[in-house]
Amino acid sequence: MARKIVFTSGKGGVGKTTVAVDLGVCLSLAGEKVLLADTDFGLNNIDVVCGVERIHYDIVDVIEGRCRAKQALVMHPLWHNLYILASNHSDPQKYISPQAVRLVLDGLSHAFDYILIDCPAGIEGGFHRAVASADEAVVVTTPHVSALRDADRTISVLKSYRLKSVELIVNMVRGDMVADGEVLSPPEIANILKTPLLGVIPQDDGIFLGERFAGGGKKAFRMLAGNVMKGTRRIYNAAGRYGGFFGSIRRSLKKNL
């Protein structure tokens, strides 16, 4: 049976989809069979982020009986252990119940090791629909104050669900700013949010440009995947290369970019 993990945030644009997709790729490269399920029915984009162009059926087609769940799965063209279940493309306003989504994902659970559920921003209906299908939750935040406040709110709402775990990923961490004390470090953020740290992903232009596994993001995602699979808690040190004499030169160069 698959582990069903939902990626939530509260605040939009903090990297839920990116983290779910890149973690999914890493897990699949490690031999795990992974399903990326898009439950962001308003601004669905997991297929685009994955570079999958043709979607014949989506999750709503499954729910409304136009196809079987397996027919709606799209195998990734590069990583054959990675599958995508797109959210609806036709009518984003259509009401889909949390139970219906859960039924579809439960039905697919035996065929996968992991089902990674991409949740919409906010803590409204779409959030409930995504979280109700999961057994574990990951809250994605950036070090910015507005994201932290929304993450805090999200974590408190998650307490009302029956989840095995709620953990934290701090994304878009700028090592130079952490080293200069301009933003909180990921362990400080985890302390404030009283939530265990599952991973840290640096701000990486390669990620922004959609180049899977470029720059520091590559190592960080490998460590994250290891933590998810093995239960370890190895955390990427984004500030590492900005310490000491050469680090201070790197910091000032980065500031002037």
Ligand X SMILES: Nc1ncnc2c1ncn2[C@@H]1O[C@H](COP(=O)(O)OP(=O)(O)OP(=O)(O)O)[C@@H](O)[C@H]1O
Judged by CB under 6 A, the chain residues 207 through 226 that form the site for ligand X are 207-208, 217
- Dist. CA 115–CA 134, nearest whole Å: 9
Does the footprint of Mg ion cover residue 87 (CB under 5 A)? no
* Least spacing, CB of residue 120 vs ligand X, in Å: 6
Q: Quick one: 39 or 185, whose CB is closer to Mg ion?
A: 39
Q: Quick one: 24 or 217, whose CB is closer to ligand X?
A: 217
Contact by Cβ (8 Å): 126, 12? no
Tell me which H or E stretch contains 82: strand 82-85
- Dist. CA 57–CA 88, nearest whole Å: 8
* Least spacing, CB of residue 233 vs ligand X, in Å: 19
- Number of residues in contact with Mg ion, rule: CB under 5 A? 2
Among 4, 6, 15, 83, which residue interacts with ligand X (rule: CB under 6 A)?
15
Does the footprint of ligand X cover residue 60 (CB under 6 A)? no
Among 39, 133, 203, 227, which residue interacts with ligand X (rule: CB under 6 A)?
203
The token duo for 232 is 């370890």
Among 5, 14, 36, 115, which residue interacts with ligand X (rule: CB under 6 A)?
14
Does the footprint of ligand X cover residue 228 (CB under 6 A)? no
Q: SS in 3 state form for 150-195?
A: HHHHHHHHHCCCCCCEEEEEEEEECHHHHHCCCCCCHHHHHHHHCC
Contact by Cβ (8 Å): 232, 226? yes
Tell me which of ligand X, Mg ion, none is bound by residue 143, counting a contact when its beta carbon lies within the kind-specific cut-off of 5 to 8 angstroms: none
Phi then psi dihedrals of residue 68, to 5 deg: -85, 155
Tell me which H or E stretch contains 6: strand 3-8
- Dist. CA 250–CA 233, nearest whole Å: 28
Does the footprint of ligand X cover residue 43 (CB under 6 A)? yes
Among 8, 9, 17, 195, which residue interacts with Mg ion (rule: CB under 5 A)?
17
**Interface with ligand X (CB under 6 A):** 9, 12-18, 40, 43, 121, 171-172, 201, 203-204, 207-208, 217
**Interface with Mg ion (CB under 5 A):** 16-17
